[in-house]
Chains A and B, each alone.
Chain A
Amino acid sequence: MIWIGDVLVSPGEGGVYGERMLDGYRVWDPYRSKLAALYVLGTGVDLRPDMRVLYLGAANGTTVSHVADYVETVYAVEIAPRPMQDLLEVAGRRRNVVPIMADAGRPGEFAPFMEAVDLIYQDVAQPDQVAIAERNLPFLKPDGCLILMLKTRSVDVRRDPAEVLEEAREELGAHLIVVETRWLEPYHRDHAALVCAARR
C-alpha cells in the first residue's frame, strides 16, 4: 500500500468523486471507505499489481476506483440501477474495471463472466451477508483471501453487534481460516472487517 506520511493514497486519474490529491496521488479517505479504514487501522490484505479482485456490492464505484488503482482487474458486482449508472462512468475511464449488474447473492447469474480471483471483497447491506460470501467462494483461488465487511446492523438491528460478529466468525471458520477480525471504529460504527484466507 502507498502512504504519504500517514495518509493512504492510490495511484490513478483523480476527480472520480472530488477526492483530494496529494503529490499526484489520490487520497483514500478512511471515513468514506471501509477498506481504507481497515488499512489505516493497520491490517488488511495488501493489494498487489498482479491481483484479480471480485468486488461484491460495488455501489457508486468510489472504493472500486481506488482498488482498481492498485490491482490488475476488478470484477465489480452491483444490483441497484442508480449506483450502477455511476459505476459505469468509473468503468468507462478505468480499463481494468469490469462492471457486472447482478445480485451478489446469486453468483450463478454472473459466473459465466468470472475467472478465479485472488481476493473477494464484500460490502453488502443484507441480512444474509455471510451466506452470500460463502456462495461466492467457488471464485476464490486456492491461495486467495476474503475480506468481508460485516454490517452488523443489517444482519439484525436488535442484536448486540459483538454477538453478530462472533456468529459470523464461526460460520466463516467452517470454510476459511479467519485470520483477523477488526471493528472499524472510529471510522465506521457497528461495522467489522473479517479477513480470511482460503483453506488450501
Chain B
Amino acid sequence: MISTMRRYWFGDVDEEGGCRIAGGDTEALAERALSLRTGMDTFVPLDWRTARDCGFVGDREEYIDRLREVCIALARRKIAQRYRGRDVELLQMVRTLDELDHVINLLNERAAEWYQVARPSFSRKYRALPARRMVGAIRRVADGPLRRVADEIDRLYGVRSALMQEVSERADEVLPNCSALVGGLVAARLVSRAGGLAALARMPASTIQVLGSERALFSHLRAGTPPPKHGIIFQHRRVHNAPKEVRGRVARVLAARLGIAARLDYYRGVAVPEFIAEAQARIDEAGRAA
C-alpha cells in the first residue's frame, strides 16, 4: 500500500506515523515552509507528539520553541519582502507631504492672528496678502517669539517644496504610466489612498474615479445624495479645468485610463509610450465640449 505523505513545518509524515524530518537550521526550515501548501479538505491537524516520536524534539516546550523560531524567521522574511516594494516609501513621503501642508496652514493662520493682536491697526483686507506672503511680512517686522515662529514656518515651506520635488521624481520612476497621465504628485496620492500600487492595480476604474471622496460616496450609498464625480483626480488640471458639463465624463475616461496605467506600472514597471499617447488623446477628446 502506498501511503501519502502529509507535509508539516518540521518534515513529512505518512499515515502510519513514519516520518522524514526536514534537515537544516531555522532559516532552512523557514525556506522550506515557504513552499508548503495544504488543501484544507484533506488536512489533518498536527499532533506535536509525532514530532517527538520522530526524534525532532524532546518535549513540548522544545517543540513550541523551535516552531516559534521558524515562524519568526519566516515573518521577518515576509515583512522585508513586502517593504522592498518601491512604492512603500513613496507612500510615506506623499502622506508626510499632505500632513506638512496641513500643519503649515494651521501655523500660518495662527501666526496671522497673533500678528494682528500685536498690531491693532493691521488688517489683511484689501491687501491681497496670502498667508505665504504674510509670513514673510511678519519675519521682516516682528521680533521675539513671533519672529522665531515665523522663521520656523518659513523653514517648513522649504522642507515642503523639497519633499514635493522628491515625491514627483520618485513617482515618475515608480509610476511612469500613471505619472504621465496625471503628474507625479496626483499619481502618488492615488497610490497612497489605495494603500499601495498593488492595491491600485487591482481596483476597478470606477473606484479609482472616486478615491478620496469616500464621504460623498458613502453618503450617496446610504442616503441617496448625488454620487461624487471625482475624488483625488479632481486635482489634475484636465479635470478641474474642464467645463462643468463634461467634467464627469473627463473624470470617468481619465479613471479608466488610470486603471490600465496602474496595471502597467505594477506588472511591467516601465513607461509604455504607445499606451500613453493613445490615453492622452482619449482624455483630451473627452474634455472637448459636446
Name A residues whose Cβ lies closer than 8 Å to a Cβ of B. Answer: 73, 81, 84-85, 87-88, 91-92, 95-101, 107-109, 111-116, 135, 138-139, 157-158
Total inter-chain residue pairs, C-beta < 8 Å: 80
- The answer to whether B221 has its CB under 8 Å from any CB of chain A is yes
Residue of A nearest to B41 (CB): A138
Name B residues whose Cβ lies closer than 8 Å to a Cβ of A. Answer: 7-9, 33, 36-40, 43, 45-48, 64-65, 67-68, 70-72, 74-76, 78-79, 82-83, 218, 221-222
Most chain A CB inside 10 Å of its own CB: which residue of B33, B71, B74, B222: B71
- Min Cβ gap B96→A in Å is 16
- Min Cβ gap B103→A in Å is 23
Q: Which residues of the other chain, B, contact A157 by a CB distance below 8 angstroms?
A: 218, 221-222
Known contacts A109-B37, A112-B33, A113-B9; A81/B79 CB under 8 A: yes
Q: Which residues of the other chain, A, contact B36 by a CB distance below 8 angstroms?
A: 112
Residue of A nearest to B39 (CB): A108
Contact among B48, B68, B222 for A115, CB-based, below 8 A: B48
Q: How far is the CA of A98 from the CA of B73 in the complex (A)?
A: 11
Known contacts A115-B47, A157-B221, A158-B222; A73/B64 CB under 8 A: yes
Contact among A91, A96, A116, A138 for B72, CB-based, below 8 A: A91
Q: Which residues of the other chain, A, contact B74 by a CB distance below 8 angstroms?
A: 101
Q: Which residues of the other chain, A, contact B221 by a CB distance below 8 angstroms?
A: 157-158
Q: Which residues of the other chain, A, contact B78 by a CB distance below 8 angstroms?
A: 81, 84, 101
Task: List 10 extra interface pairs beyond A100-B71, A112-B38, CB under 8 A.
Answer: A84-B75, A87-B75, A101-B71, A101-B78, A108-B38, A112-B7, A113-B67, A115-B46, A116-B47, A157-B218
Cβ–Cβ contact B40 & A108, under 8 A: yes
Residue of A nearest to B222 (CB): A158
Most chain B CB inside 10 Å of its own CB: which residue of A96, A99, A158: A99
Cβ–Cβ contact A98 & B67, under 8 A: yes
Most chain B CB inside 10 Å of its own CB: which residue of A96, A108, A112: A112
